[in-house]
Amino acid sequence: MGVLGLGYVELWVGNARQSAAFFSNCFGFSVAPPAGPRSGPDDRVSYVLRQGTITLVVTGAATPDSPVAGYVHAHGDGVRDIALVADDASTLFRRAVEGGAKVIPPEASGGSSTRPMIATFGDTVHTLLDGNDPLALSVAGEPTGIESLGPVGLVSIDHYAVSVESGGCAGWTSHYGSALGFEPATRDEHVEVNGSAFTMSTVRVPGGPGAFVFAEPAPSRNKSQIAHYLEQFGGPGVHHIAFSTNDIRRTVLSLRTRGIPMLEIAASYSRNADERLREIDVDWRELADLGVMVDVDDEGYLLQAFTQPLGDRPTTYLEIIQREGTKGFGAQNVRALYSTVVREQEQSHSSRS
Alpha-carbon span 136 to 172, nearest angstrom = 25
DSSP state of 102: P
Alpha-carbon span 101 to 175, nearest angstrom = 8
Q: By CB under 5 A, which span of 92-100, 201-209, 237-245, 338-346 interacts with Fe ion?
A: 237-245
Q: Which is nearer to Fe ion, 24 or 322 (CB)?
A: 322
3-state secondary structure of 239: strand
242 makes contact with Fe ion (CB under 5 A)? yes
162 makes contact with Fe ion (CB under 5 A)? no
3-state secondary structure of 125: strand
Give Rg (Cα) of the chain: 19
295 makes contact with Fe ion (CB under 5 A)? no
Q: Which is nearer to Fe ion, 120 or 144 (CB)?
A: 120
Residues within window 65-84 making contact with Fe ion, judged by CB under 5 A: none
* Residue type at position 266: A
Least spacing, CB of residue 27 vs Fe ion, in Å:
17
Least spacing, CB of residue 117 vs Fe ion, in Å:
25
161 makes contact with Fe ion (CB under 5 A)? yes
Q: Which is nearer to Fe ion, 10 or 319 (CB)?
A: 319
Q: Which is nearer to Fe ion, 109 or 339 (CB)?
A: 339
Among 81, 123, 295, 319, interactor with Fe ion by CB under 5 A: 319
Least spacing, CB of residue 56 vs Fe ion, in Å:
17
In 205-282, the DSSP E strands lie at 211-218, 237-245
Q: By CB under 5 A, which span of 44-52, 204-212, 293-301, 319-327 interacts with Fe ion?
A: 319-327
Considering CB under 5 A, how many residues would be counted as binding Fe ion? 3
Among 211, 318, 328, 187, smallest CA distance to 262 is for: 318
Q: Which is nearer to Fe ion, 149 or 331 (CB)?
A: 331
Q: Within a 10 A sphere around the Cβ of 321, how many other Cβ atoms?
A: 23
Angle at which helix 331-352 crosses helix 225-233, to 10 degrees, equals 50
3-state secondary structure of 53: coil
Q: By CB under 5 A, which span of 110-118, 128-136, 235-243, 258-266 interacts with Fe ion?
A: 235-243
CB 242 within 8 Å of CB 158: yes
158 makes contact with Fe ion (CB under 5 A)? no
Alpha-carbon span 75 to 69, nearest angstrom = 10
Q: Which is nearer to Fe ion, 82 or 161 (CB)?
A: 161
* Contacting positions for Fe ion (CB under 5 A): 161, 242, 319
